[in-house]
């Protein structure tokens, strides 16, 4: 059963570096995930993660794609791992595909962006925040338009014996009570504060961005912070995973295979 469960990423920064499988690949890639946890029985954090994802999407694209032109693909999204009764673990994920910037440079730019994003959250107007909340509430409470969609919604509750029939209603209810301060605290907890942040980054190096043993990826680079004047939060050397995925997984804690529900 261990292979089917999800790693409960501990506090820290973890980094896996690999070469692209094809020498003809012209792009490098960076995927950075910030672990939130198992949210199946936690409508509050589910609502917070949904709202944070909604709020961060456009600024991430505008800053990292349009302004800094890191690459053609730049996205921020909610990403879940695992299947089964209560086993899915949710994260905030940032994906960037770049032909012109190496993975260490891309991650450095992401860190600088995140260092200043809390100010963006706190500067949201009441109307901005309410617009984001209402958009998400509408999606949550909108009845399925096709029988297949309705089947999928209820079958998941039946298949894993969750029977959380008012799941979407509970999340929508929590959504309206989230303040700017609540969203800021949540963002700082999962993405910034080194005492609570649980981060895993994967760097895929194309041939034009060769992976060098003990290279820039092996530790923090504050050159970008010095150029911009931004303080990079928790800029500490990561624990390298590289080729040791299995041994790393074997010593990591795992989320429980099942969660208990109040029915």
Q: What is the CATH number of the domain that holds 41?
A: 3.30.830.10
pLDDT at 228: 42
If one counts every other C-beta atom within 10 angstroms of the C-beta of residue 186, the result is: 21
Q: Is residue 28 part of a domain?
A: yes
Tens digit of each residue's pLDDT (9 = 90 or more) over 240-263: 887 677 888 888 988 877 655 554
Q: Is residue 211 part of a domain?
A: yes
Q: Is residue 257 part of a domain?
A: no
Q: Is residue 262 part of a domain?
A: no
pLDDT at 41: 78
Q: Is residue 229 part of a domain?
A: yes
Residue 38 has pLDDT above 70, yes or no: yes
What is the extent of the structural domain holding 194? 2-251
Residue 150 has pLDDT above 70, yes or no: no
Tens digit of each residue's pLDDT (9 = 90 or more) over 46-68: 999 999 999 999 999 999 999 99
Q: Is residue 130 part of a domain?
A: yes
Q: Is residue 69 part of a domain?
A: yes
**Taking a C-beta distance cutoff of 8 angstroms, is the pair 32, 107 a contact?**
yes
Looking at the structure of the chain, the number of domains it has is: 1
Selected residue with higher pLDDT from 168 and 118: 118
pLDDT at 263: 46
Alpha helices per DSSP H over the chain = 43-60, 103-122, 126-141, 147-159, 167-175, 180-187, 223-228, 245-251
Selected residue with higher pLDDT from 165 and 28: 28
Q: Output the pTM of the full model.
A: 0.84
Residue 84 has pLDDT above 80, yes or no: no
């Amino acid at each position: 059963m261990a292979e089917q469960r999800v790693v409960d990423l501990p506090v820290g920064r973890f980094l896996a570096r690999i070469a692209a499988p094809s020498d003809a690949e012209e792009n490098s890639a960076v995927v950075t995930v910030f672990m939130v946890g198992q949210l199946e029985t936690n409508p509050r954090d589910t609502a917070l993660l949904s709202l944070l994802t909604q709020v961060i999407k456009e600024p991430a694209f505008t800053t990292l794609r349009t302004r800094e032109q890191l690459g053609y693909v730049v996205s921020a999204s909610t990403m879940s791992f695992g299947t089964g009764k209560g086993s899915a673990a949710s994260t905030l994920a940032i994906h960037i595909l770049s032909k012109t910037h190496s993975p260490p440079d891309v991650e450095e730019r992401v860190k600088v962006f995140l260092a200043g994003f809390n100010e963006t959250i706190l500067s949201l107007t009441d109307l901005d925040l309410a617009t984001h909340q209402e958009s998400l509430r509408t999606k949550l409470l909108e009845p399925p338009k096709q029988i297949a969609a309705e089947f999928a919604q209820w079958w998941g509750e039946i298949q894993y014996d969750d029977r959380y029939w008012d799941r979407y209603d509970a999340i929508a209810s929590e959504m309206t009570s989230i303040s700017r301060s609540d969203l800021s605290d949540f963002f700082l907890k999962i993405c910034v504060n080194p005492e609570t942040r649980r981060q895993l980054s994967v760097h895929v190096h194309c041939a034009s961005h060769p992976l060098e043993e003990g290279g820039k990826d092996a530790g923090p680079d504050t050159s970008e912070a010095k150029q911009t004047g931004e303080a990079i939060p928790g800029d500490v050397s990561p624990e390298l995973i590289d080729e040791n995925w299995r041994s790393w997984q074997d010593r990591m804690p795992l989320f429980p295979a099942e969660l208990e529900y109040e029915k």
